[in-house]
Amino acid sequence: MNTCQDARPMIPSYLDGELSEAQAAPLRKHLLECQPCRATAQDQKNLARWFQVAKTAEAPLPVPRDFAARVARRAFQGDRGALGTELAPAPARTGAESRHLRLVLTLTAAAAAVVLIVSMAIRQMTLPNGQDLRADDKKEAVVPLPEAIQELDRLNARERDAAGKLEEQKGAAQIGAPAERRP
């Protein structure tokens, strides 16, 4: 053990009593000669003191009075705990259970098919029939908007012409006709 770099990482293990004598002896020699490493060791011992005091000062945690009885009862009832349940493999099925499962699955599939057929029939009844669809074909063709406006303009123009001619005829008739009750 020549350098502090070799010695320092071993100090905690030395204080924890985890070093063999072959490892501890050279470290002890180094500590005697090296003040900085001795200071590191003292620092570690001071730190350990916090844990020692904390450990002895811990008040025991109160355990519910019926805890042991409850746990033992649950254990014998087959409760494996949350994790045990997650990890437990599914139990193997017997032949009778498998046959029963197949019957249930077959009946379920048949029931699902019946429900599907009935629902399709109901849906069919609510759809519009063929005649309804043909009725749309009889509707007049939709005239595009610009054409419709032009047609309207033409109609309006014809009406205006007709109205103008009618006014002229009325005017001419009034000029040429005698008064009905002229005194």
Partner 1 sequence: MELRAMEPQPADDLCLVQETLAGHQASFQLLVERYQSRMFALARHYTKNPVEIEDLVQEAFLKAFTRLDTFQHQSSFYTWLYRIATNTILDWMKRRGRSPVTSVEDPEVLPEPSKVKVAAPDAQMERAEIAKITHAVLEHLPDIFRQVLVMREFEEMAYQDIADVLGISIGTVESRLFRARAKFKEKLLQLHPEFGQDE
Residue pair 14/22 in contact (Cβ under 8 Å)? The answer is no
CB of 2 or CB of 131, closer to partner 1: 2
Of 88 and 127, the one with the shorter C-beta distance to partner 1 is 88
Contact, 48 vs 15, CB < 8 A?
yes
At its nearest, how many Å lie between partner 1 and the CB of residue 77? Answer: 10
Distance from C-alpha of 142 to C-alpha of 56, rounded to nearest angstrom = 97
Q: For residue 40, what are the contacts with CB-CB under 8 A and spacing of at least 6?
A: 8, 11
Cα atoms found within 13 Å of the Cα of residue 122, Cβ hemisphere only = 6
Q: Which residues bind partner 1 (CB under 8 A)?
A: 8-9, 12-13, 16, 18, 39-40, 42-61, 63-64, 67-76, 79-84
Cβ count near 126 (within 10 Å): 6
Q: Which is nearer to partner 1, 79 or 97 (CB)?
A: 79
How near is the Cβ of 16 to partner 1 at its closest, in Å? 7
Nearer to partner 1, 5 or 124 (CB): 5
- Shortest distance, CB of residue 28 to partner 1, whole angstroms? 18
